[in-house]
Structure 1
Amino acid sequence: MDQKFRLLIELGAGEFEHAQTYLIEYLESTRCMLKSWIASEIMQDAGLYHLAYDINATDSKLFDEARRKQVAAIVGAKAESIIYHYCACDWGGFLTHTSQEQEPIFYDRYTARHFKIDSELVHNLCELKAAIEINRVLHHPSSIQKNSERLKILFGQIQEQLSAPAQRKINQVLSDN
């Protein structure tokens, strides 16, 4: 197991303390997908640790500034920012604006704030979202038929933000099913 991953478990980030082998394999395969898309090491770390601020976490202190600094000390400030924004994102509102605006409005569901984000973060969030969604389908192939329309809509909304390797993988997975 990766040293950064062990430190996040010790920190108690998200649901990692309850991680089962499947979860570790899933997170690693998300990282590997991003690596196959020639994503930066920062993005690969974001893929591996994208559940650091798990949606189902009940500890409200999980999202305070001190915790974010601790996570950033482990994975780096840029990867932590991507991870935080991925987990905090109100995807419904964000996706609506992503396909319509150069600088979409980001809806932070933890703080109830909304603000514009730069194009690099938009790209990183969309690329991470694509990797996670495709990875889920690959881990649960039977779900592709049930989620096919939703995925086509999602990928249509973020297509302009995705790298060419990500678009090729999406097209391959969706056309295979």
Structure 2
Amino acid sequence: MSDHVVAWLRELGAREIAHPGGTLLTHLERVEALLGSWGARPALRRAGLCHAFYGTDGFPTALLPLARRAELAAVIGDEAEEIVYAYAACDRAASYPTLACEEAAYRDRFTGRVDSPARGSGGTWRSCPRPTNSTSRGSIPPSVTHGEPNSAPCSSG
């Protein structure tokens, strides 16, 4: 499946789109390889390979419009597509400062909806990747990440 997805990424122009550290395609392949080296499940690896399909808050270039979500889901599966959407939709300025809070607030930049993974609201909260430069599994090179979460204190209500 990965070869099919990479061929589609090439068709959509990812090989020609500049991205820090090379091209968008190179970045996406590095992310998939990194997730694989960590033993990530197949759906998460496919999501890593496709995480920029709808653009992101830090990289606005989209390969597909949101109206074509069903096409991506048909290629990579529903779970992987939901992860891609959650990553693309994350409003970083609104969401990152709250990630360490008991009731983190995730804001969808496409819909404006704000919700909390702590409330078990369904959706893809458990899947929304959080960029970081250090993890228990080792260091993530800057070419894979897109910045650091802000370190604002949690509000007490």
Distance in 1 (CA, whole Å) between partners of 2:4 and 2:132 is 26
- 2:86 equivalent in structure 1: 85
TM-score norm. by structure 2 comes to: 0.67
Structure number with higher helix proportion:
1
Equivalent residues of 1:54, 1:87 under 8 A apart? yes
Equivalent residues of 1:7, 1:74 under 8 A apart? no
Closer/same/farther in 2, CA of residues 116 and 36 from structure 1, 3 Å limit: same
Closer/same/farther in 2, CA of residues 36 and 156 from structure 1, 3 Å limit: farther
Distance in 2 (CA, whole Å) between partners of 1:87 and 1:58 is 9
TM-score norm. by structure 1 comes to: 0.60
Closer/same/farther in 2, CA of residues 109 and 120 from structure 1, 3 Å limit: closer
Equivalent residues of 2:16, 2:23 under 8 A apart? no
Distance in 1 (CA, whole Å) between partners of 2:51 and 2:62 is 17
- 2:113 equivalent in structure 1: 113
- 1:164 equivalent in structure 2: none
Question: Alignment identity in percent?
Answer: 24
Closer/same/farther in 2, CA of residues 97 and 155 from structure 1, 3 Å limit: closer
Gaps of 5+ in 2: 134-138, 153-157
- 1:101 equivalent in structure 2: 102
How many pairs are equivalent? 136
Closer/same/farther in 2, CA of residues 122 and 156 from structure 1, 3 Å limit: farther
SS of aligned partner of 1:2? helix
Distance in 2 (CA, whole Å) between partners of 1:16 and 1:41 is 21
State the shift of 1:58 in Å.
7.4
AA paired with 2:111? T
Gaps of 5+ in 1: 141-146, 158-177
SS of aligned partner of 1:31? helix
AA paired with 1:106? Y
How do 1:1-177 residues align onto structure 2 when only pairs under 5 Å count?
Answer: 2-10=3-11, 12=12, 16=14, 18-19=16-17, 22-55=23-56, 56-57=60-61, 62-64=65-67, 67-102=68-103, 104-117=104-117, 118=120, 121-126=124-129, 129-130=131-132, 135-137=140-142, 139=143, 151=148, 154=149
Closer/same/farther in 2, CA of residues 120 and 98 from structure 1, 3 Å limit: farther
Equivalent residues of 1:34, 1:43 under 8 A apart? yes
Which structure would you say has the larger RCO, counting Cα contacts within 8 Å and 6 or more residues apart?
Answer: 1
Equivalent residues of 1:130, 1:155 under 8 A apart? no
State the shift of 1:19 in Å.
4.2
SS of aligned partner of 2:39? coil
AA paired with 1:107? R
RMSD (Å), alpha carbons: 3.5
Distance in 1 (CA, whole Å) between partners of 2:151 and 2:124 is 18
Can you list the C-alpha shifts for 1:31-61, whole angstroms capped at 9, x where unaligned?
Answer: 11111222111111111111111242479x8
Closer/same/farther in 2, CA of residues 31 and 156 from structure 1, 3 Å limit: farther
